[in-house]
């Protein structure tokens, strides 16, 4: 496959960026998207040019490290992570625009790498349960009804990649936040801190500069784990109940 790539290049957080056009040739359709970028970077290295900076880690679709805006879609045209996207999803001769996640809460570090520590701060604010160390009970000591366990598990699939924010027209982090609030809210262990959790997380989310949700659904569509929109409904209900003291 021969492709034309338009890649966002930016030297640093404060630098001016621009889309730079590259040609890549003889790309195998069985390569992953990141392997295709590796091929480009090997060539740039050989030519003595600065390679394109992008994030990746496990390349198995489970760590949440990678994430690129590919021709206007977060993680590209398939419902998966960028590392698990293959070049067979593209046509020979196609022009692909590659941009970083764009959100003021995710400042660009370099090229396609963004700083997603705003997500960490949201988790630190309330995305946890408190247990005393040294006396952790058996995991199955407290019975959890199957439907609650299932829903908690679906929500817990979130890998924190940030595709929801990237795809949202409002750059809102509510699918991410809703996933954590639902995950812990469906389980008995999550109940004692439930009211505090949602309020602290929402305040941190808003303070980090994410936008509000308008229930459009781009987030859920872009989510490589298919987290459903109803976690945002649970998030909204939890905040409403917490504010009115009904937990």
User: Which residues of this chain interact with another protein, rule CB under 8 A?
Assistant: 6, 8, 19, 69, 71-73, 97, 99, 102-105, 121, 124-126, 128, 130, 132, 169-172, 174, 192-196, 199-200, 202-207, 209-218, 220-222, 228-230, 232-240, 242-243, 245, 247
Which is closer to another protein, CB of 65 or CB of 195? 195
Q: Dihedral through CA 192, CA 195, CA 200, CA 202, nearest 10?
A: 130
Which is closer to another protein, CB of 36 or CB of 202? 202
Which is closer to another protein, CB of 43 or CB of 241? 241
CB 183 within 8 A of CB 140: no
DSSP secondary structure letter of residue 26: S
Cβ neighbours of 192 (radius 10 Å): 12
The number of CA neighbours under 13 Å toward the Cβ of 64 is: 17
In the complex, least distance from residue 159 CB atom to another protein, rounded to whole angstroms: 20
In the complex, least distance from residue 1 CB atom to another protein, rounded to whole angstroms: 20
CA distance to 62, 163, 197, 236, per residue, from 194 (Å): 27, 26, 5, 13
Cβ neighbours of 86 (radius 10 Å): 18
d(CA 131, CA 91) in angstroms, rounded, equals: 52
Which is closer to another protein, CB of 132 or CB of 135? 132
Which is closer to another protein, CB of 51 or CB of 217? 217
Which is closer to another protein, CB of 28 or CB of 215? 215
Give every CB contact of residue 222 below 8 A, 6+ residues apart in sequence: 73, 74, 75, 163, 164, 166, 167
In the complex, least distance from residue 238 CB atom to another protein, rounded to whole angstroms: 7
If residue 154 lies in a helix (H) or strand (E), which one and from where to where?
Answer: helix 146-156
In the complex, least distance from residue 42 CB atom to another protein, rounded to whole angstroms: 26
In the complex, least distance from residue 45 CB atom to another protein, rounded to whole angstroms: 26
In the complex, least distance from residue 156 CB atom to another protein, rounded to whole angstroms: 16
d(CA 204, CA 112) in angstroms, rounded, equals: 25
Which residue in the block uniquely carries the two structure tokens 């400042």? 107
If residue 182 lies in a helix (H) or strand (E), which one and from where to where?
Answer: helix 174-185
């Amino acid at each position: 496959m021969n492709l034309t790539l338009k890649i966002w290049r930016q030297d640093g957080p404060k630098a001016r960026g621009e889309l730079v056009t590259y040609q890549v040739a003889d790309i195998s359709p069985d390569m992953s998207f990141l392997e295709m970028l590796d091929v480009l970077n090997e060539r740039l290295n050989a030519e003595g040019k600065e390679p394109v900076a992008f994030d990746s880690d496990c390349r198995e679709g489970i760590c949440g490290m990678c994430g690129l805006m590919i021709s206007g879609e977060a993680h590209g045209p398939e419902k998966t992570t960028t590392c698990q996207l293959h070049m067979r999803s593209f046509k020979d001769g196609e022009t692909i625009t590659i941009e970083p996640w764009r959100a003021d809460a995710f400042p660009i570090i370099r090229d396609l790498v963004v700083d997603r520590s705003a997500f960490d701060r949201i988790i630190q604010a309330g995305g946890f349960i408190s247990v005393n160390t040294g006396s952790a009970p058996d995991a199955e000591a407290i019975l959890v009804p199957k439907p609650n366990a299932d829903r908690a598990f679906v929500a817990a699939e979130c890998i924190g990649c940030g595709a929801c924010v990237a795809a949202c027209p409002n750059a809102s982090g509510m699918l991410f936040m809703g996933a954590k609030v639902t995950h812990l809210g469906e389980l008995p262990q999550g109940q004692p801190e439930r009211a505090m959790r949602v309020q602290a997380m929402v305040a941190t989310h808003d303070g980090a500069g994410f936008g509000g949700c308008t229930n459009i659904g781009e987030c859920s569509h872009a989510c490589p784990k298919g987290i459903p929109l109803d976690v945002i409904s649970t998030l909204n209900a939890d905040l409403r109940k917490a504010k009115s003291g009904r937990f």
